[in-house]
Amino acid sequence: MTGKAITRRCLMALPVLAAGGAHAAPASKQAPKITKASKKLAGYIEKTDDSAQSCGSCHFYLAPFDCIVVEGPVSPWGYCNYYAD
């Protein structure tokens, strides 16, 4: 022992210090990099007609010309294999 007396205050601080250390460990890990699928891989096509299944009505579409899962600009009248309503 170091000759230092253990006080109640020291004992109460131990769980707090242990909990703080547990939260610091996951922060050092890097999140996986998420990449979008290419238009070719997604089977993306640009259509000229307005049909029921088009990028404009898809859950992944971000107006005006972006998509969560397909890279590059996409047309609201386009379509791909990842369509989700």
Q: Is 11 left (phi over 0), alpha (psi -120 to 50) or beta?
A: alpha
Predicted pLDDT at 3 = 62
* Pairwise CA distance, residues 53 & 85, whole Å: 8
Residues 6 or more apart from 72 whose CB is under 8 A from it?
39
Query: Residue 32 — very low, low, confident or very high, per pLDDT cuts 50/70/90?
Result: confident
Question: Does residue 11 have a pLDDT over 80?
Answer: no
Has residue 21 got a pLDDT over 70? no
Confidence of residue 51 (pLDDT cuts 50, 70, 90): confident
pTM here? 0.59
Q: CA 34 from chain center: how many Å?
A: 7
Among all chains, which residue has been given the structure tokens 């000229």? 48
